[in-house]
A and B are shown apart, each in its own frame.
Chain A
């Protein structure tokens, strides 16, 4: 994602969950989202098999 794409995503995702972001908070939000995206890219690049199920177990 480019920085512009990231800014657009932040605005759209925030609207989708009804989370207003004050202009003075945006630089910090963008910086933190860039860090999160960088980490996501590393984890997402790791190939997983279908049997690698999510860890949480529901015990009714």
Chain B
């Protein structure tokens, strides 16, 4: 029996015939096993640091404010409060001690104390103003030349986050792409920074110019770029989006192939939820695309859904129901049944998300019925509220 040596080609042929091994675990099982790990939020600092720092900050503030506050009180108030304290605690302190301390106040301190009173009243007033008339954190009703819309992908690339940069005076003329800070805001790398947008609202069209060497691969990547372009142009009066390269050729957009135009954002397809990242306290309203056209009522209910996307939370709390939704011309009327709000912010998030969603359904304003309290920090619910022009303002002055 003779043994023949194998040639390289024979070995290659045998390797090529190796059987296809099938994974016996189903796709659903696999996703279920990785999902908890994907939703786990990384703890970037030791758990004790934040409470410790907060406590230290409170103590420091108390150490600064309390002596000033106590010394600035008029003598009668101070003794009065001390008397009250004494009677309530049945302290053994001699009443005369307080008197003595009060009479030791110098004239300058008394002057300061009256200034302190004024300051307090100013503070109260400004606080009231904040409560009644602050801008919403998620929406802007008006347009201004120093505002420019932009879009970045969410951290994991499943959503696009449209936002509005409010430029400082010295930033006028700067490309908005040079001002964005995705890493600070918990968003992913800018995928459209190399593109030039020429928006002509008179002709209702926008030209998006790609560099000649621009190339992308993969359908997920292509889809995010296309959604980013469409949302970037959404706040403007644009009906046509033209794409071309610097040299005027059609753009090759991954698996879309050669593309000359993109459709604008469709109506009746998007509802809004809240994007939150672990790296930033900033939250954003994000459009979530429904699989097909849906009704406004469906959209409101879907805003309560938990998404499988990381970082996206429902905009409508579980205790809220919408028993009646009706439309008259461009006004949407929504009746809101709810328990107590956990915070004014919870209410604001919902209101802004509903306003933005109503905007996608072609409404110009929304009347909220049955909401208590009757006004929030930004809105009075006794009147219809206009839908926003821009979303997620980021003020470069701050």
Chains A and B bind each other: no
